[in-house]
Each structure stands twice: as C-alpha cells, then as structure tokens.
Chains A and B, each alone.
Chain A
C-alpha cells in the first residue's frame, strides 16, 4: 500500500516538475511549486508512517529499520541510507525552490525557476528510474529484503524481521540531526547557482547577481558549518576513537563546498564594492554547486571506502550524468557572457580590503584544491598503477595546516579593513597594549605545554586575533558596521578559538592501553581511576555492556554495544571526563571474562574546539539583530 502510494506520488511529482518546465504562466508556476513542496512533504511523511508501522513490504524499511528500533532512530532511518536520504534531499531542495521563488525570483523571466525545477527533476527522476525508497519487496529474506520493484500494484512480500539501521547510526541522538543540517547546506548551494546562471542567461550587465547569490549563500554556509560541527561532535562522542576529524573522504567532500562558499562570501563583497572579480565569482558559485554533486557522487557511488559511504550500483552513473549536464550548462552560460566578464574592473589598492579578500580567496581555494586532490588521488593512482595507496592525515596536516594558519593570521586585519591600503603601523600602535598582553599571555600559557614551532605560532596568532576581535566587538558593536561585517567578526572569533583547540589537540594528546580486572584501579596522567564490575543491559535492539569508571568525583560509563541482527562488530561508547583544557577519554577495547582492555586517552583542547565551533555557528546573530 505505502509502496504503491509512494511510487505513484513520485510520478505525480515528476510530472508537476515537467509542467513547471514547460509553462510560462507565473500564477500556474506558483501553484505548481507549492504543490511540489506539498508532495515532497507527503512523501517524507509517508515513509515515516511506513517506518513507524514497520511496513516491511517496503524494501527500504525492511533493510534499514526494525520493529525493535527506538522511535527516534526509526524517524532518522529515513535518511540513514541512500534511497531514503534522497527523499530528504528532494524535500529540502523543493523548500529552497519555494523560498527562492518567493524572495529572489527574476521579474522579467521564468528561466530561473525552470533551471531550479530541472535540478529537482533530476533528483526525483532518480527515485523513479533508478532506485526508490518506496520500492516494494518481491523477494524477502528472513531478515531484510532481497529483491524489489519500482512498479506500483505488485504482489509484495514482507520479511519477518527488519534489519535495522547501521549500528553506528543508532547509538546517539546526534546522528538524527547532523545529516539534515548538512543536507540543507549542500542542497542550499543550488540556490546561488540558479540565481547566477539564470541571471546570466538573460545577459545581465550589472553585478546584481553577485549580490543575490551572496545573500543566498549565507544560509547554506551556516547550515554546512553547523552540520560539519555536529558531525565532529558525533564522531568524538560516539565513535569511540577519540578524534573529531579524520580527513575521511566524506568529511572532505563536505569541507570542499564549505571552503568554496566561505571564499565566495568574501569575494562577493569585493565585487559589490567595485565591480571587479566578476568571472571569479561566477567560477566559485558554479564550483560550490558542482562540488556538492561531486561529493554526493564520490560518497554514494561506492568508489571510495569510508565510514559514511553507502554504495549503490546505479547512482554513480546517474550523478555523473547530472554533473556533466550542469557543468556544461555552467560553462555554456559562462561562455556566452565572455564580453561581460571582460568588463570586470581592474583591482585597486592591493593592500586594502580587496587585496585581503583576494589573499583569503587564494588561500581558501588552495585548501580546496589540496583537499580535492587528497580525496581523489588514490582513485587515480589505482587506475594508473593498479596498486592501492592511502592518503593519510599527514598529507592534509602538512598542506592544509599552514594555509589555515595563514588565514587565521589574515583575520587579525579583518577588524579594520578600509578600502584604502592598510596602515600596519597605525593598526599596531593603536592596539599595542592588547597585542603585547596577548603575547605575554601566550608565553605564560605555552609554559604549560610541550612546545613546538606550530604550537607557539598558532597560539600567539590566535590569542592576538581573539583579544583584538573581542575588543572590537565590545567597543564598536553598536556604533558602526553592517550585519555581515559583524557576522564575519563573530565567525573569525570562533575560528580563532577553534585554532587553539585544534593545535592543542594535535600537539599534546596521548594515549595508553591498559589491561585491568573488575574492582581494580589504575593511574593515568596523575588521575586515579577506579573500575567497578560490568553491568549488562538487554534492550530490544541491543545488548549493552556497561563498565562504571570513577575518577574519585564522578562515575561514568564506558560501554560496548552489541546490536541484534547486525554482522558488524560491537560498538564502543566512551566515558569522557571533561575539562576545559583536556578530556580523559576511556573506551573499552575488549572484554575477556573479568579482564578489560581499555584505551585511555588524554585529549587536549576538545572543549575549546566545541566552543570555537559554537561561536562560529552563532555568526548569524548580528544578521537578526541588525536586519532592520
């Protein structure tokens, strides 16, 4: 039943999108777009209903949910695997389309909404022709579904038990919220793309499109920032390996659009001011969107191995075709506007605001290049040499690290960037007290740690950045500047804090393996930890072995979670004793009768990292306050 309704609704949606594409009546377009949003909501709710009623005749539900799955994770199962996540993707895309139609539509033409509908058309087409979350099950196993059909009204069979979500995905509520944030970020990158390409189709001669695209980029940028941050939190709190970022391909492909959109948010300001960099902004807007398609392709097609990748045979080719079509559109529109791009003004004042933004763009774009190459190089290597190679953290640390440090350094000047060339001497003399005290505090602070070159440089630069921006905010927030300037200042402040956390974590953390029996205690990094006896908890979906650990003040649990119906290994959840500077992070490695092998880590800077990411994520606040 649900399967047939879902498939038919998808067809209807597909038809409506085609109608948007052919009609030219704005009133009709308005109605169709609303209907498209409505149908996407319906599809979303329909699959949720199926998940909650355990309708195992739907192949997706029997493969990625189970009757024993707790309600929150049933809800989140919708985006727990590829086919369902496309549904959330389409819903978000239709909402962005509606938002665009309401606020940014071109008055004289419908070409923008047509381009938008063709993007959605493409993704809805995938659920119809390639693989649908509503595909009915025609050959069931005892657990899960083996074979499914994309046609409605077939004789469907139901598996007895659902397979349940991937164990990693049902271990922490953060899993339920981190992907939707990322999706909004990804999908939202379509809006600036459509806005620019469609305005240039009409051979726009002003730089108004940059303005519109910039407004449309901030929301997806913000969601991407929050999504990546939550992903880092999830990785640290749940996965039990003690880190927050692994340069895993899926993390990388979310970082690339972030770097590009951050670059664009800066370079758009240069264009707004003096009509230069037109071509460059067009390149950035295009790559922002194409990189999200590329990211989906890389992670969903099974070409790479990663914690996040869920592979599926057909989507790779499908996405490649999409990437090709939209790239060609982008290039074609670019080429017919060559004359316009050449009219771009020459840059003045290389050490003024524009110059700094250019440096920022060069650095951000270079990082994107590094991350991109690091992600796809193993694929090339294997194709050419028929041997496998792994690109590890070292590559990224060596190349991206210094670039990001340079960016942090440049942010110091963001407190006072005038159009004219910057007066370094004056900037220094005006702030000498704060610069000196930041340096002094850095020295005292550094005495507490194992010092190395990268630690010293990062800490001193970040301290100067933080103190100058804080001072700037306290002194001038109500006096001058526009909302995007203050959004930038808050984002920079957060990134300064983040840099301190990252460098502490990078240079100071260490770990140890400990073998211990119940009721014993051990000393790690000057703390005494007492172990008690293991507690077994049987939940419907999993068995949890919880080991209580006390540090003398509080008792926390580290646990091994063994999920039913899953072939995967047990998942270890850490006990984390938090502190501003360092966490003690204890996870179980293995249990043998009453002997436990524990991995104990001293993780530095994690709380600081969270604070930094939080501050950066609040950079939208000035936009709310100063909107009037």
Chain B
C-alpha cells in the first residue's frame, strides 16, 4: 500500500480499464436523444412522454429497422422540420464549438497578461 510501484500498477490497470469500452447504446437510443420533440418545450423525443414524440419514435424505429444510414435519417427529419429538430449540431456546425473555444482562448490570454502586468 505504501509503495510507489503499487500506485503505478493501479494507474496502469485504470488506463487499461478505460479503453475497455462496452457500449449498450443502440442507434435508436442515440437518435432519439438527438431529435427534438417539436411540440414540447425543448425536450428530445427520448425524454418526452408526449404522443407526438411517441409517433416520431415509431417512425424512427421503422427507419432503423429498414436500414437507413445516419445521413438518410438526418435528411428525413431536417427536410420536414428544419434544422432545429436536430440537437446534436457539433459535427455539422463546427463553429458552435469553435466560437466558445476562441473566446475562451482570448479570455485566457488577456487574463494572464493582465495579472502579470508590471506596474
């Protein structure tokens, strides 16, 4: 318990564990967490108990059974409801991630320069 080697062994085991990924999320689950329920207030269909979301889930289930690709699913919903139906925009609108990262970088640079500034 008191040895540094023991720490090292434990950390190696932890690293090994972190690559050992079992995902139990189905494609259906993934998409139902992405699609917004248009009649609810800001809920995805996975969370929403409404009938409307339920119907959407049925359609989605059907699409996945028929073997739609992600692209086809995306196009299907976006042509019907517009872009706002998709809540996971990171891959398609990459600026959404870039804007905050850019602002944070600027903030950090200014902040560090200011606090180290000479009198």
Q: Is the CB of A395 within 8 A of B10?
A: no
Binary B-proximity of A451-464 (CB < 8 A = 1, otherwise 0): 11101110010000
Binary B-proximity of A68-97 (CB < 8 A = 1, otherwise 0): 000000000000000000000000000000
Q: Is the CB of A277 within 8 A of B86?
A: no
In the complex, what residues of B have CB within 8 A of residue A393's CB? 33, 87
Q: Is the CB of A362 within 8 A of B108?
A: yes
In the complex, what residues of B have CB within 8 A of residue A589's CB? 49, 54
Binary B-proximity of A350-382 (CB < 8 A = 1, otherwise 0): 000000001001100110011001100110000
In the complex, what residues of B have CB within 8 A of residue A343's CB? 119
In the complex, what residues of A have CB within 8 A of residue B104's CB? 366, 369-370
Q: Which residue of A lies closest to B88 (CB)?
A: A394
How many B residues face the partner with a CB closer than 8 A?
Answer: 62
Q: Is the CB of B49 within 8 A of A451?
A: no
A120-128, A317-325, A435-443: which lies at the interface: A435-443
Q: Is residue B70 contacting chain A, with contact meaning CB distance below 8 A?
A: no
Given A346-B118, A366-B104, A452-B21, CB of A590 within 8 Å of CB of B43? no
Q: Is residue B66 contacting chain A, with contact meaning CB distance below 8 A?
A: no
Q: Is the CB of B116 within 8 A of A394?
A: no
Q: Is the CB of B49 within 8 A of A450?
A: no
In the complex, what residues of B have CB within 8 A of residue A406's CB? none
In the complex, what residues of B have CB within 8 A of residue A52's CB? none
Q: Is the CB of B82 within 8 A of A387?
A: yes
Given A436-B7, A439-B10, CB of A241 within 8 Å of CB of B97? no
Binary A-proximity of B32-51 (CB < 8 A = 1, otherwise 0): 01101000011110111111
Q: Is residue A569 contacting chain B, with contact meaning CB distance below 8 A?
A: yes
In the complex, A387 Cα to B82 Cα: how many Å?
8
Name the interface residues of B1-52: CB closer than 8 Å to any CB of A: 1-4, 6-7, 10-11, 13-15, 17-25, 29, 33-34, 36, 41-44, 46-51
Q: Is the CB of B7 within 8 A of A391?
A: no
Q: Is the CB of A597 within 8 A of B41?
A: no
Binary B-proximity of A238-249 (CB < 8 A = 1, otherwise 0): 001111001011
Which of the residues A249, A391, A587 comes within 8 Å of B89, measured between beta carbons?
A: A391
Name the interface residues of A266-290: CB closer than 8 Å to any CB of B: 276-277, 279-280
With a 10 A CB-CB cut-off, give which of B111, B115, B119 has the most chain A CB atoms. Answer: B115
Q: Is the CB of B115 within 8 A of A451?
A: no
B71 to chain A, nearest CB (A): 18
Q: Is residue A217 contacting chain B, with contact meaning CB distance below 8 A?
A: no
In the complex, what residues of A have CB within 8 A of residue B85's CB? 390
A579 to chain B, nearest CB (A): 19
Q: Is the CB of B99 within 8 A of A590?
A: no
In the complex, what residues of A have CB within 8 A of residue B19's CB? 453
Q: Is the CB of A440 within 8 A of B96?
A: no
Q: Is the CB of A346 within 8 A of B14?
A: no
Q: Is the CB of A377 within 8 A of B96?
A: yes
Q: Is residue B62 contacting chain A, with contact meaning CB distance below 8 A?
A: no
Q: Is the CB of B7 within 8 A of A392?
A: no
Q: Is residue A388 contacting chain B, with contact meaning CB distance below 8 A?
A: yes
In the complex, what residues of A have CB within 8 A of residue B51's CB? 590
Given A366-B107, A392-B34, CB of A450 within 8 Å of CB of B22? yes
In the complex, what residues of A have CB within 8 A of residue B17's CB? 443, 446, 451, 456
In the complex, A452 Cα to B104 Cα: how many Å?
27
Q: Is the CB of A246 within 8 A of B43?
A: yes
Q: Is the CB of A342 within 8 A of B88?
A: no
Q: Is the CB of A597 within 8 A of B116?
A: no
Q: Is residue B80 contacting chain A, with contact meaning CB distance below 8 A?
A: no
Which of the residues A374, A389, A436, A457 comes within 8 Å of B6, measured between beta carbons?
A: A436
Q: Is residue A581 contacting chain B, with contact meaning CB distance below 8 A?
A: no
Given A432-B2, A452-B21, CB of A439 within 8 Å of CB of B11? yes
B30 to chain A, nearest CB (A): 11
Q: Is residue A433 contacting chain B, with contact meaning CB distance below 8 A?
A: yes
Given A377-B96, A388-B83, CB of A241 within 8 Å of CB of B49? yes
Given A241-B48, A280-B114, A399-B100, CB of A365 within 8 Å of CB of B107? yes
Which of the residues B43, B90, B116 comes within 8 Å of A395, measured between beta carbons?
A: B90
Given A437-B1, A597-B54, CB of A392 within 8 Å of CB of B44? yes
Which of the residues B23, B29, B47, B93 comes within 8 Å of A241, measured between beta carbons?
A: B47
Which of the residues B50, B97, B118 comes within 8 Å of A398, measured between beta carbons?
A: B97
In the complex, A599 Cα to B53 Cα: how many Å?
13
Name the interface residues of A216-270: CB closer than 8 Å to any CB of B: 240-243, 246, 248-249
In the complex, A361 Cα to B112 Cα: how many Å?
11
In the complex, what residues of A have CB within 8 A of residue B87's CB? 390-394
Q: Which residue of B lies closest to A388 (CB)?
A: B84
Name the interface residues of A457-496: CB closer than 8 Å to any CB of B: 457, 460
With a 10 A CB-CB cut-off, give which of A246, A392, A443 has the most chain B CB atoms. Answer: A392
Name the interface residues of A536-580: CB closer than 8 Å to any CB of B: 569, 572
In the complex, what residues of B have CB within 8 A of residue A373's CB? 99-100, 103
B37 to chain A, nearest CB (A): 11
In the complex, A460 Cα to B17 Cα: how many Å?
11
Q: Is the CB of B93 within 8 A of A389?
A: yes
In the complex, A197 Cα to B10 Cα: how many Å?
52
Q: Is the CB of B41 within 8 A of A369?
A: no
In the complex, A432 Cα to B1 Cα: how many Å?
8
Q: Which residue of B lies closest to A371 (CB)?
A: B100
Which of the residues B49, B114, B115 comes within 8 Å of A587, measured between beta carbons?
A: B49
Q: Which residue of B lies closest to A361 (CB)?
A: B111
Q: Is the CB of B18 within 8 A of A433?
A: no
A612 to chain B, nearest CB (A): 22
Which of the residues B11, B23, B42, B103 comes within 8 Å of A305, measured between beta carbons?
A: B42
In the complex, A37 Cα to B87 Cα: how many Å?
46
In the complex, A243 Cα to B38 Cα: how many Å?
19
In the complex, what residues of B have CB within 8 A of residue A442's CB? 14
Given A248-B42, A346-B117, A365-B107, CB of A435 within 8 Å of CB of B7? yes
Q: Is the CB of A569 within 8 A of B24?
A: no
Q: Is the CB of B49 within 8 A of A240?
A: yes
In the complex, A85 Cα to B99 Cα: how many Å?
35
In the complex, what residues of A have CB within 8 A of residue B14's CB? 439, 442-443, 446, 456, 460
In the complex, A446 Cα to B90 Cα: how many Å?
29
Binary B-proximity of A130-142 (CB < 8 A = 1, otherwise 0): 0000000000000
Chain B residues near A (Cβ < 8 Å): 1-4, 6-7, 10-11, 13-15, 17-25, 29, 33-34, 36, 41-44, 46-51, 54, 57, 82-90, 93, 96-97, 99-101, 103-104, 107-108, 111, 114-119
Can you list 12 A-B contacts with CB-CB less than 8 angstroms, sorted by A residue number? Answer: A241-B49, A246-B43, A378-B84, A389-B84, A395-B90, A398-B97, A432-B3, A432-B7, A442-B14, A450-B24, A453-B21, A510-B25
Given contact pairs A369-B103, A391-B87, A439-B14, enumerate 5 new A-B contacts (beta carbons under 8 Å).
Answer: A387-B82, A394-B34, A439-B11, A450-B22, A455-B18
